[in-house]
Amino acid sequence: MRTDQNELIDILELDETYAAPTIEAALLEFQTLADHLTDAKHGLYEASLSPRDNETLTPGQWEQAVDILAEHLGLAGQPRIVILHQKKGREHVHAVFQRTDTDNKVVISDSFNYPAHEQAAREIEQTFGLEKTIGAHTREKDELRPEQAFSREDHQRAERSGIDAVAMKEQIASLYEEADTGRAFVRSLEENGFYLARGDKKNIFMVIDPQLETHKLSSTLKGIRMSEVKAMLHPLTTANFETVDTCKKRILEQSHIKDEAEQLKTTHVDQMEALSKDHKLACDRLEARHYLDNEVVNASRKEIEFTGFLKTIKDAFGFTWVNDKIKEVADRERFGLQAQELQDLKREQLNERTALQRAQRNEWFKLDQENKPESGLRSRFEVARVQKRQNTFEDKMQALRDHDQGSDVWKVITQQLDRLIAHRDKVEYQQNYLETLEFSVAGDFSAIFRDGEKALENFRAMAAETSIKKATKALARRPDQFGLIQDASLKTIKGHIESAVLDASKTHYLKTKVENAVLGLELPGAVIIKLQKEKVKYIQAVPDEKLAMLRDVQLAANNLDDKQRKALEPEAKHAITQARTLMKDRLKRNLADEILKKQRAHEEHERKRQLDLRREIDPPM
């Protein structure tokens, strides 16, 4: 009895007429009678009664409940031990019966004990007014079969390992549902710390959890028939797996490898973080030096002094483009040198990062080669193999893309769609640019005239009556005919007039062009929608060749681990989903497998032919 886990232990029944009135002595006598009087191996029957948390019974009621249970089990009148436990505030009773009938020298059968337990439970609930529980064997016809509760062994394993039994079974069930093949299911289990092993009994699969506790695979996949599980695992059978003891021994032998791998992973992360920090610091320092150099250059610059006619022009119109041009040329040269210096630094840093990654991969590969398991257990440190599976999947996806994009239908649809979308984007850009110009013109008129809106209306009216060319000339020569001029310097007014003349001309010509283009967008817009639908329809069409490629993608995806699957692009995830949906059809799956088989046979034939040809050209010495 676990006195360290039970808050209260009380012996309700124990016959003191035994040779030694102790629980251990009584249990030994129960088994001894069976050994000497019968051929049975088990002379004891143990049962427990455990009501809900809010339900309690008195000692007398407990004894009466045990009598009811004994009556249903056919053990009435047999010697027994009854012990009351209280654990976490909840009371429950354990009863151990002597199975041996000493008069007839036989053991009382324990067959059909499940229905007997449920019938006894219903009678106990009715006798003491407890809440009724729906049982698998005593439920009404219209009541659903309840889910099987966890056994005492499950709870004991959970207490020993610290693993939540419910969460563990949900995780294993989820891995089973996500897997497409037996090998994919086994690989997913191992990636999450679980291992499949061979049980002691024939054709029994066992699951070993991360704490080396064992569970029947059938008990972790409730609601799924083992015939379905075995069909999914095919061609793998129990013969392909190690025994539980051998598997546990192998895991223990490799435990130090896991610690070494975790330490190596931590070291690599620290190295990469330190290198990234040094690279960022070097870039920041270089950019800071460039900033200081630019500030020094800007501070040392002096305005070029103009004399004579150039000075008059500069004072009247504020022309500074000469100064700006000289500065622009100098800045462009300096900025180019700075950008080249920064690019060289980043290229050097990229080479350093690549060298570090190569060294880290070599360390992983060395660890993998030194500790490669001889059994079927998967080494968690085979980085080279993981990357190879990733590359294989990407090759299959690229082949699928090339197939979709290589046909004439795809090219025609894509070209038409690209051309129309480019035209639409161009018109949208022109509309945005036109809005910017109109806003600029309105701003210039507001800066020139006291009533900018009225002046702009007068300008547009003149342009409509005459022409935009005459209207802009009138604005440049006699702006006062459009409205009252603002009280500002001549220099400021001249600058806004020049800007207004230029932008107004651009706006007039661009507006007509955009209006005509917008009118022509209605038909292309409908065509774009139609072509997009045709493109989707073409992608969803699955000829035999594409069906085989999708099957190839699915098989390659089964070899990816969880981290690689989560990092996939939406396009790849869509292809995998499409493949899984299609492969549910047995005929399509068989057709795809047959095509792949022929393709691989052809590739193998070509490989051997090339090898023979190479040997003929360059025979071995």
Residues 6 or more apart in contact with residue 163 via CB below 8 angstroms:
157, 209, 210, 211, 213
HSE of 609, CA atoms in CB hemisphere, 13 A: 6
Same-domain pairing of 246 and 292: no
pLDDT at 417 over 80: no
Q: How far apart are CA 520 and CA 424, in angstroms?
A: 10
Residue 199 dihedral angles phi and psi, to the nearest 5°: -75, 175
Task: Find out whether 185 and 233 touch, Cβ atoms under 8 Å.
Answer: yes
The two three-digit tokens of residue 198, written as one number: 């061979």
Q: What is the distance, to the nearest Å, from the Cα of residue 419 to the centroid of all Cα atoms in its chain?
A: 37
Q: What's the mean pLDDT in 274-294? A: 87
78 DSSP assignment: S
pLDDT at 537 over 70: no
Overall pTM surpassing 0.85 (yes/no): no
Is 142 part of a structural domain of the chain?
no
Is 558 part of a structural domain of the chain?
yes
Beta bridge partners of 214: 208
The two three-digit tokens of residue 616, written as one number: 């003929």
Same-domain pairing of 414 and 505: yes
Is 88 part of a structural domain of the chain?
yes
Residue-wise pLDDT for 437-463, tens only, equals 788 888 888 888 888 888 888 888 888
Task: Find out whether 379 and 373 touch, Cβ atoms under 8 Å.
Answer: yes
pLDDT at 383 over 50: no
Provide the residue range defining the domain that includes 546.
Answer: 542-617
Is 144 part of a structural domain of the chain?
no
Helix%, strand%, coil% for the chain, nearest 5: 65, 10, 25
Same-domain pairing of 287 and 301: yes
pLDDT at 379 over 50: no
Q: What's the mean pLDDT in 546-558? A: 83
pLDDT at 516 over 60: yes
Is 394 part of a structural domain of the chain?
no
Is 600 part of a structural domain of the chain?
yes
The two three-digit tokens of residue 363, written as one number: 């360390």
Q: What's the mean pLDDT in 352-364? A: 82
Residue-wise pLDDT for 238-277, tens only, equals 888 888 888 888 777 766 666 777 788 888 888 889 998 9
Task: Find out whether 453 and 485 touch, Cβ atoms under 8 Å.
Answer: no
Which residue did the predictor score with more confidence, 204 or 488? 204
Residue ending a domain, among 253, 287, 319, is 253
pLDDT at 137 over 50: yes
Same-domain pairing of 16 and 84: yes
Q: How far apart are CA 168 and CA 172, in angstroms?
A: 6
Same-domain pairing of 274 and 376: yes
pLDDT at 158 over 80: no
Same-domain pairing of 358 and 463: no
Closest CA to 554 of 591, 592, 595: 592
Same-domain pairing of 511 and 549: no
Distances (CA, A) of 12 to 23, 64, 70: 12, 12, 15
Burial of 438 (0-12, 13-18, 19+ CB in 10 A): middle
**Residues 195-231: b if buried by 16+ CB within 10 A, e if exposed:** bbbbbeeeeebbbbbeeebbbebebbbeeeeeeebbe
Same-domain pairing of 261 and 377: yes
The two three-digit tokens of residue 477, written as one number: 């020569």
The confidence score (pLDDT) of residue 478 equals 82
Same-domain pairing of 488 and 508: yes
Is 230 part of a structural domain of the chain?
yes
pLDDT at 397 over 60: yes
Q: Mean pLDDT in the chain? A: 76
The confidence score (pLDDT) of residue 140 equals 59
Same-domain pairing of 421 and 493: yes
Residue ending a domain, among 333, 362, 381, is 381
Strand pairing category for 80-87 and 90-98: antiparallel
* Cis peptide bond N-terminal to 51, omega within 30: no
pLDDT at 607 over 60: yes
The two three-digit tokens of residue 84, written as one number: 């009351």
Which residue did the predictor score with more confidence, 158 or 134? 134
Is 55 part of a structural domain of the chain?
yes
pLDDT at 178 over 70: yes
Residue-wise pLDDT for 460-512, tens only, equals 888 888 888 888 888 888 888 888 888 777 777 778 888 888 888 878 877 77
Closest CA to 81 of 20, 124, 7, 26: 26
Residue-wise pLDDT for 186-197, tens only, equals 888 887 888 888
Residue ending a domain, among 508, 529, 550, is 529
Domain count, the chain: 5
Same-domain pairing of 97 and 162: no
Q: Where are the beta strands (DSSP E) in 66-179?
A: 80-87, 90-98, 100-101, 106-107
Q: How far apart are CA 196 and CA 204, in angstroms?
A: 10
Q: Is the dihedral of CA 122, 124, 126, 131 positive or negative?
A: negative
Location of structure tokens 């053991």: 107
The two three-digit tokens of residue 85, written as one number: 């436990």
Q: What is the distance, to the nearest Å, from the Cα of residue 511 to the centroid of all Cα atoms in its chain?
A: 50
Cβ neighbours around 98 below 10 Å, total: 24
Model confidence at 541, in pLDDT bands (50, 70, 90)?
very low
Distances (CA, A) of 597 to 79, 132, 401, 549: 69, 59, 21, 12
The confidence score (pLDDT) of residue 520 equals 58
Model confidence at 587, in pLDDT bands (50, 70, 90)?
confident
The two three-digit tokens of residue 233, written as one number: 């695992």
Same-domain pairing of 233 and 272: no
Residue-wise pLDDT for 219-244, tens only, equals 888 778 888 888 888 778 888 888 88
Residue-wise pLDDT for 73-89, tens only, equals 888 888 888 888 877 66
pLDDT at 539 over 60: no
CA angle 126, 130, 135 (to 5 degrees): 75
The confidence score (pLDDT) of residue 249 equals 82
Task: Find out whether 512 and 439 touch, Cβ atoms under 8 Å.
Answer: no
The confidence score (pLDDT) of residue 381 equals 39
pLDDT at 599 over 70: yes
Question: For the chain, what percent of residues have pLDDT higher than 90?
Answer: 0
pLDDT at 34 over 70: yes
Distances (CA, A) of 498 to 152, 324, 435, 473: 92, 18, 19, 11
Closest CA to 27 of 76, 94, 87: 94
